[in-house]
């Protein structure tokens, strides 16, 4: 005996509901990712500053 389900009864409506659910999930992930507090990591800036200051100089021998 086949139990009637939402998927089998109305396929276009089921696809629409799944699509809307996925869009809400993606929107939630995007919003929560953008509102996440950004880590203040100065190490990247220090390395970039060192690379800019030493650009064009010959490399030091070890």
What is the structure's pLDDT at 57?
67
Asked whether the beta carbons of 6 and 14 are under 8 A apart, the reply is yes
What is the structure's pLDDT at 13?
83
Average pLDDT of the chain, as a whole number: 77
Greater confidence, 35 or 3?
A: 35
Indicate the pTM of the whole model. Answer: 0.47
What is the structure's pLDDT at 1?
58
Task: Read off the pLDDT of residues 5-28 as tens digits, 9 standing for 90 and up.
Answer: 665 667 788 889 899 999 999 999
């Amino acid at each position: 005996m086949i139990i009637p389900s939402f998927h089998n009864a109305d396929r276009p409506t089921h696809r629409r509901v799944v699509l809307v659910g996925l869009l809400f999930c993606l929107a939630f992930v995007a919003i929560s990712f953008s509102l996440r507090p950004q880590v203040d990591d100065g190490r990247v800036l220090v390395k970039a500053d060192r690379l800019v200051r030493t650009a064009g100089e010959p490399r030091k021998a070890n």
